[in-house]
């Protein structure tokens, strides 16, 4: 069973809540945190819509939905899952507010917003994006979650995006805390007598709402050497480290 999370506001610590009685069409509100399923959420990638997610309730699997007609100030509701853009959401980091995100709709780019005046029971609405705390959200673990972070073996990168160097490799991982900054470090050691000395890099990646990430990393020597790639990923909050070592034979990777 997938982990579930509270979506907690930077304003007063209020969380996403389905107003009771819960059913398709029930309004969403910001409410003081409790331990009930109508405040706990999972995340599911939208097929064919890279970077967008359904936000699904642990109570009946209802999706966060903008009530139609969609426009700035349209109320949010819990609704049966469908294949329309008013249920597709992306999470964009808030500049200067580590761990907080704007939650933006694929329909007009509207942001999840607590209607003012903000207090427990204030309605949630879709609203034009702004720089105020009632639109900033973070992930809070629900009781009973377990984490098993792991790195996948690297894969070679098929260059479709010209901004990514050729001969790159992709590092990916799953099972991490969502929305978490990770420090990704790698060291590539060519076999003796092949090419340049060791190549190393360190960068920061952020997990998506499912706790996964992927990162394309430029390493031009892959076209001319064989060698070993050592990867480590460290959670910047807990300090937990996960490692992976793989061998490049000139055309493919093996563990």
Instruction: Say which residues have a Cβ less than 8 Å from residue 14's Cβ, sequence separation at least 6.
Output: 8, 30, 31, 32, 33, 114, 118, 119, 120, 122
Residues of the chain with pLDDT under 50: none
Instruction: Say which residues have a Cβ less than 8 Å from residue 46's Cβ, sequence separation at least 6.
Output: 52, 53, 54, 88, 106
pLDDT at 166: 62
pLDDT at 178: 98
pLDDT at 251: 81
Buried b (16+ CB within 10 A) or exposed e, 65-104: bbbeebeeebebbbbeeeeeebbbbbbeebeeeebbbbbb
CATH of 5-141, one of 2.160.20.10, 3.20.20.410, 3.40.50.2300, 2.80.10.50: 2.80.10.50
pLDDT at 100: 98
Question: Domain extents for the chain?
Answer: 5-141, 150-254
pLDDT at 57: 98
Give a three-class secondary structure readout of 147-197.
CCCEEEEEEECCCCCCCCCCCCEEEEEECCCCCCEEEEEEEEEECCCCCCC
Rounded to 5 degrees, φ, ψ at 232 are -135, 140
pLDDT at 168: 79
d(CA 102, CA 108): 14
pTM flag (> 0.85): yes
How many residues are given for the chain?
255
Are the C-beta atoms of residues 136 and 100 closer than 8 Å to each other? Answer: yes
Which helix (H) or strand (E) segment holds residue 24: the answer is none
pLDDT at 192: 79
pLDDT at 47: 97
Q: Which CATH architecture has domain 150-254?
A: Sandwich (2.60)
pLDDT at 158: 53
Q: Work out the widest C-alpha separation in the chain, in whole angstroms.
A: 70
């Amino acid at each position: 069973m997938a982990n579930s999370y509270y979506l907690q506001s930077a304003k007063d610590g209020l969380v996403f809540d389905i107003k009771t009685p819960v059913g398709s069409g029930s309004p969403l509100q910001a409410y003081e945190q409790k331990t009930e399923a109508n405040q706990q959420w999972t995340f599911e990638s939208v097929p064919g819509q890279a970077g967008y997610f359904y936000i699904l309730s642990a109570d009946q699997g209802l999706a966060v939905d903008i009530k139609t007609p969609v426009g700035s100030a349209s109320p949010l509701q819990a609704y049966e899952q469908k294949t329309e853009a008013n249920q597709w959401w992306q999470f964009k980091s808030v500049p200067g507010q580590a761990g907080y995100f704007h939650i933006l709709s694929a329909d007009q780019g509207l942001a999840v917003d607590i209607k003012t005046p903000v207090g427990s029971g204030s309605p949630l609405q879709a609203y034009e994006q702004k720089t105020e705390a009632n639109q900033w959200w973070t992930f809070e673990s629900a009781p009973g979650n377990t984490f098993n972070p792991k790195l996948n073996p690297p894969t070679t990168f098929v260059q479709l995006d010209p901004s990514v160097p050729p001969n790159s490799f992709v590092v990916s991982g799953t099972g991490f805390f969502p929305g978490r900054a990770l420090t990704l470090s790698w060291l590539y050691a060519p076999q003796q007598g092949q090419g340049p000395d060791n190549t190393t890099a360190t960068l920061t990646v952020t997990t998506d709402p499912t706790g996964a990430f992927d990162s394309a990393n430029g390493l031009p020597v892959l076209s001319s050497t064989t060698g070993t790639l050592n990867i480590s990923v460290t959670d910047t909050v807990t300090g937990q480290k996960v490692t992976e070592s793989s061998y490049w034979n000139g055309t493919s990777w093996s563990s």
